[in-house]
Amino acid sequence: MIFDTHAHYDDKQFNKDREELFVRLKEAGIGRVVDIGADIESTRRAVELAKAYDFIYAAAGVHPSDVDCLNEESFKWLTGLVEESVEKKGKIVAVGEIGLDYYWEKDVERRNKQKYWFEQQMELARKVELPVVIHSREAAKDTWDMMDGLKCEDIGGVVHCYSYSVEMAKNYLNKGFYMGIGGVVTYKNARVLKEVVQYAPMDRIVLETDCPYLTPEPNRGKRNSSLNLPYVVKMISELKGLSEEEVEAVTWENGRKMYRMSE
């Protein structure tokens, strides 16, 4: 069975065939999916999907590029949503995706806004004892400095779509974090990421798609889905010298442990 630890099936790109696709996922051995919130509305949709489908779970949070949707009122709603789910043993299994993204954002004041809401959401995760799903793009030092300062090892979670050096990966691995590996690892120019996969212990790697984005070879350029994860499994198996069955089994267990699922 394959565990897709990071997907966005709430995205409008799936509106026309979502239900049909979910049937195909189960037939293809995709046993579990976590749908990740990116803003307030997508978090609502992720939670609804988790309620409607037994194999789908949700993460609730706001992506750094979407923090304009956060204010005192909306953050109070988000906090209440997460707290209620935890209290009732619901299907929100993480706070995310949260972090820093400097690719589009060059303004210092707006970067500081990202940092503020990143810290607030990290503290929410600490309060409710859920792991975090970290998004970090072209913000390696600031992300690490904040996570180190916030004692992220006490919270736990995953660095989604890991894109930095082996040296930076060591920092996160030493804090007990997982590395989210998806379609990018199949790209010809992904030399550094392949080195990270070779370095990282197998028990710290989880599979993800970030679908509908980051489709692996040979389907790059098309809409992504969990159906493409066998290509990622194959590449990891080659890099780690393991069978594809071993990669599937270990990453399944890793995903379960990362999200603190009992079964």
CATH code at position 220: 3.20.20.140
Q: What is the dihedral of CA 173, 260, 157, 242, to 10 degrees?
A: 50
Pair of tokens at residue 164: 């930095």
Confirm whether 193 is domain-assigned.
yes
Contact predicate 63/39, CB 8 Å: yes
Q: What are the distances in angstroms from CA 100 to CA 50, 166, 176?
A: 26, 19, 20
Which sign does the torsion angle of CA 191, 196, 198, 203 carry?
A: negative
Confirm whether 217 is domain-assigned.
yes
Amino acid at 120: Q
Which is nearest to 232 in space by CA: 250, 244, 246?
244
Longest Cα pair distance anywhere in the chain, in angstroms?
A: 50
Q: How many domains does the chain have?
A: 1
User: Are β-strands 178-181 and 205-207 bridged in parallel, bridged antiparallel, or unpaired?
Assistant: parallel
Pair of tokens at residue 197: 């996969």
Could you give the CA distance from residue 129 to residue 156 in angstroms, rounded to a whole number?
A: 9
Confirm whether 219 is domain-assigned.
yes
Could you give the CA distance from residue 76 to residue 86 in angstroms, rounded to a whole number?
A: 15
Intra-chain end-to-end CA distance of the chain, in Å: 13
Q: Tokens 């026309």 identify what position?
A: 16
Could you give the CA distance from residue 170 to residue 5 in angstroms, rounded to a whole number?
A: 21
Confirm whether 263 is domain-assigned.
no
Confirm whether 234 is domain-assigned.
yes
pTM: 0.97
- Its domain, for residue 21, covers 2-258
The angle, 0 to 180 degrees and rounded to 10, between the axes of the packed helices 72-87 and 108-128 is 20
Per-residue pLDDT of the chain (263 residues; tens, 9 = 90+): 999 999 999 999 999 999 999 999 999 999 999 999 999 999 999 999 999 999 999 999 999 999 999 999 999 999 999 999 999 999 999 999 999 999 988 899 999 999 999 999 999 999 999 999 999 999 999 999 999 999 999 999 999 999 999 999 999 999 999 999 999 999 999 999 999 999 999 999 999 999 999 999 999 999 999 999 999 999 999 999 999 999 999 999 999 999 999 87
Q: Across the strands, what pairs with 101?
A: 137
Residue 63 CA, chain-centre distance (Å), reads: 11
Confirm whether 63 is domain-assigned.
yes
Which is nearest to 88 in space by CA: 119, 50, 126?
50
Contact predicate 22/47, CB 8 Å: no
Could you give the CA distance from residue 154 to residue 152 in angstroms, rounded to a whole number?
A: 5
Confirm whether 9 is domain-assigned.
yes
Contact predicate 153/178, CB 8 Å: no
Confirm whether 239 is domain-assigned.
yes
